[in-house]
Chains A and B, each alone.
Chain A
Amino acid sequence: NFVLTQPHSVSESPGKTVTISCTRSSGTIASHYVQWFQQRPGSAPTTVIYDDTQRPSGVPARFSGSIDRSSNSASLTISGLETEDEADYYCQSYHSGTYWVLGGGTKLTVL
């Protein structure tokens, strides 16, 4: 099995751009798709990025996903930060193509 490591917290000002990383401990980040979930306080998670780079309908284009083979990591980038983006963000991929592996979550503060 492998671990997905995220920074515990990040903070940035409204209107700026922030990037949250998700580093895979072993195996290749490109071997299985990565998803990103947003969880606002007191709410259920929602999917903001799936299949590495795809945005579900209704998710603003300010959200983008990417993978970097050289660092074996995935990234979620949010541009033009808004206060409503303040939330916990989780990355998720698959072990053996089936079992979910979840990152520990990153708390985004927009201050």
Chain B
Amino acid sequence: QVQLVQSGAEVKKPGSSVTVSCKASGGSFRTSSISWVRQAPGQGLEWMGDIIPISSVVNYAQKFQGRVTITADESTNTANIEMRALKSEDTAVIYCASRAMGDGNSKWGQGTLVTVSS
């Protein structure tokens, strides 16, 4: 059973960068697909992108292309998402979700609150 543990809450200044991590245990990290989804306060879920560690293939939602980088470290079973040039509108909870390739059953992390404020 895959379990995902995300890094703690962050408070950032506008224009800065933030990195959120997602450590997986159980299951096969290498052959999984790890997605990142954010949720602004009171809003719905928004897909940001995903990575497949075994192939290093990364996909980004068009909205975040160029401002977000997703990586995976197989040695630590950890996926990361970096977002740059933060704006106040980026204040949100960011979730990671992992599923085995060919399987639609995603397991979710607990979420990381990113607050962007001057």
Contact = CB atoms under 8 A, between A and B. Distances in A.
B113 to A, nearest CB: 12
A107 to B, nearest CB: 10
Contacts of B45: 37, 39, 45, 90, 102, 105
Contacts of B111: 44
Chain A's interface size range is 20 to 34
Nearest to B108: A44
Interface stretch (B12-20, B69-77, B82-90, B98-106): B98-106
A105 B44 contact: yes
Interface of A: 33, 35, 37, 39, 44-47, 50-51, 54, 56, 88, 90, 92, 98-105
Interface of B: 35, 37, 44-47, 50, 59, 61, 95, 97, 103-111
